[in-house]
Chain A
Amino acid sequence: MYNKILVFLEQRNDEIKKQSLEAARKGFQLSKELNTELIGIVVGNEIKNLNIVSEHGLEKVIHLKNSKLKNYSSTAYSKLISDFAKENNFNLLLFSHTSMGKDLAPIVAAKLKAGYGADCVSITFKENNLIFERPIFAGKAIMNFSLNSEFKVLTIRPNTVSLTENGYNVNTNVEVIEVPESNLDLRSLTVDYVKSEGKIDVAEADIIISGGRGMKGPENFYLLEEIAQLLNGAVGASRAVVDAGWRPHSEQVGQTGKTVSPKLYIACGISGAIQHLAGMSSARCIVAINKDKDAPIFQVADYGIVGDVLEILPVLKEELKKYVN
């Protein structure tokens, strides 16, 4: 089947998000293998950093523009994207599995009567067939699947495509299409975006240092905050400490919190319950600090220290200071 590829470029506050660049690169790889056309699509008003996509394989970008499209609207965006895909025969659509991507892609899929695969960790082309893989049951199993519908809509798990590899530089041609008011379905609209106080979100951090009940109390989390700041990372938490009110739910990692896949995950005083592992087991490198040598967290860790976190963390901070800044 002939698959023309459309990559959704997500913007918030007029800036293209890093996760979309991963989708662009995946699209680029696939377009080479399938020997097919690839374009990016961005919906918004002024886009400040659109030139960034030339480092990630997109030779052509369509910018659907209207001042009312600056903020996300699931109704408007989904209509514009699915209409564009239909009219121009793009039948393989790639999104990033971010808050916006996972909200928008299913609506687009429903409009196109498409087969849908969320949160893919791999997309390959084998024996003339597109093969997808995605974690299910919170990563306890992997599903290898194909889609037999004409349109296929996929979201890609963030941090699964390298952005540093070379070979993706191209010249990008941007076509701006002014969208008339009459074509905007704004029944659902974002009216405001409130940023949480200057901190990096766990879902977006490259380095996460998380605390569990072994931290003994909310007063000790400054130890994690200091290290997070040093490494330009974020503080995460187990559900036990969120439920105890020590930390906000926005920091919870796990099956009913956030799924993260950072470069480095440091679990401090976390036992490693299956629901916690569900949210972080795909981190590139995992460190565990726990006083119980039999804690399940050690089984998924690359490196472990068996000991008291409250004694180890101050030393860790001093040691890290020698190398960073």
Chain B
Amino acid sequence: MKIVVALSHVPDTATKIKISQDRKTIDQTGVSFVINPYDEFAVEEALRTKEKFGGEVIVVTYGNDNAKESIRKALAMGADKGILIKGETNVDTLTIAEALASEILPLQPDIVFCGKQSVDYDSSAVGQMLAELLGFPSISTVVKLEIDNNIIKAEREVEGGIEKCESSLPVVITTQKGLNEPRYASLKGIMAAKSKPIEEKFFEVKQNRLVVNELRLPESQRKSKILGTDATAVPELVRLLREEAKVI
């Protein structure tokens, strides 16, 4: 099976966000970048799929040179090869999907794994867009997956329950926590990753549909009223919830 993982390289979730002078981008000084947490589930599921059906796992990232660090990590987990597509960052989600599709389509994959969301711009969109551009169906936010005789059976997390979905191959799957436990790279894996290939490509952005006017920090208007240090504060709390906040 030809298996592709679209992997994004994002600021660590613990990062304290600062906005640059131009007010249009995030200040990256001192920010540490990691594999997008949801994409670790995608890599893991790709590796398990390969272990079961044989084949090859190719990791594809759109970004800049720094993203090689995350690709290398996926190679250390067991992926076979990486492709880094370099191009202008701060583009709209469909442009990212177009860049990824331009390199993934010629690979003719049977299955493409993405995370359900990247934790920087939180769009939850690139996987489904990529599917459309490849001409594949997609199933997103998957917590359980079975591949049987070219039929995909997946469960996805939705409000108030689980949706059971079916699809044909080739397909794009976006992964949610709960699908699997991502493995750690072994020392052997880390050593092996050093000699695995990372191909570099370039994507020219023709049309960026998104214009960022401004980034700002959210202003908190919370009262932060401490009502007491034990249960005797409870009646006052309930009174405030009823009369001041009017939420119960």
Do the two chains belong together in a single complex? yes
Given the complex, which residues of A lie within 8 Å of B106, measured CB to CB? none
Is there contact, CB below 8 Å, between B229 and A99?
no
Is there contact, CB below 8 Å, between B248 and A192?
no
CA of A315 to CA of B238, assembled, Å: 11
Is there contact, CB below 8 Å, between B238 and A316?
yes
CB of B37, distance to nearest CB on chain A (Å): 6
Q: A196-B161, A315-B234, A319-B235 are in contact. Are A116 and B218 (CB under 8 A)?
A: no
Cβ of B209 within 8 Å of any chain A Cβ, yes or no, is: yes
Count of B interface residues, CB-CB < 8 Å: 82
Is there contact, CB below 8 Å, between B247 and A284?
yes
CB of A252, distance to nearest CB on chain B (Å): 8
Q: A302-B245, A303-B227, A323-B242 are in contact. Are A147 and B210 (CB under 8 A)?
A: yes
Given the complex, which residues of A lie within 8 Å of B207, measured CB to CB? 149
Chain B contact residues: helix, strand, loop or mixed: mixed
For chain A, the bracket of interface size reads: 35 or more
CB of A243, distance to nearest CB on chain B (Å): 10
Cβ of B147 within 8 Å of any chain A Cβ, yes or no, is: no
Given the complex, which residues of B lie within 8 Å of A74, measured CB to CB? 128, 137-140
Cβ of A135 within 8 Å of any chain B Cβ, yes or no, is: yes
CB of A281, distance to nearest CB on chain B (Å): 7
CA of A299 to CA of B222, assembled, Å: 8
Is there contact, CB below 8 Å, between A116 and B93?
yes
Is there contact, CB below 8 Å, between A306 and B167?
no
CA of A299 to CA of B225, assembled, Å: 9
Cβ of B187 within 8 Å of any chain A Cβ, yes or no, is: no
CA of A278 to CA of B37, assembled, Å: 15
| Most B CB within 10 A of own CB, among A147, A305, A311 | A305
Which residues of B82-110 are within 8 A (CB) of A? 92-94, 97
**Closest chain B residue to A105 by CB distance?**
B125
CA of A256 to CA of B119, assembled, Å: 9
CA of A206 to CA of B217, assembled, Å: 26
Is there contact, CB below 8 Å, between B217 and A142?
yes
CA of A19 to CA of B245, assembled, Å: 23
Cβ of B191 within 8 Å of any chain A Cβ, yes or no, is: no
Is there contact, CB below 8 Å, between B139 and A255?
no
Given the complex, which residues of A lie within 8 Å of B229, measured CB to CB? 305-307
CB of A52, distance to nearest CB on chain B (Å): 18
Contacting chain B: which of A20-28, A36-44, A167-175, A182-190?
A182-190
CA of A302 to CA of B138, assembled, Å: 42
CB of A72, distance to nearest CB on chain B (Å): 7
Is there contact, CB below 8 Å, between A110 and B226?
no
CB of B72, distance to nearest CB on chain A (Å): 23
Residue from B121, B163, B247 within 8 A of A192 (CB atoms): B163
CA of A206 to CA of B131, assembled, Å: 34
Is there contact, CB below 8 Å, between B230 and A264?
no
Is there contact, CB below 8 Å, between A99 and B218?
no
Beyond known contacts A196-B161, A304-B226: 10 more, CB 8 A cutoff: A99-B159, A103-B138, A115-B209, A116-B92, A193-B161, A196-B160, A256-B37, A264-B247, A305-B228, A319-B235
Q: Could you name 11 residue pairs across A and B whose Cβ atoms are closer than 8 Å?
A: A74-B137, A106-B93, A109-B129, A110-B128, A116-B209, A136-B215, A137-B121, A138-B119, A189-B166, A285-B247, A298-B226
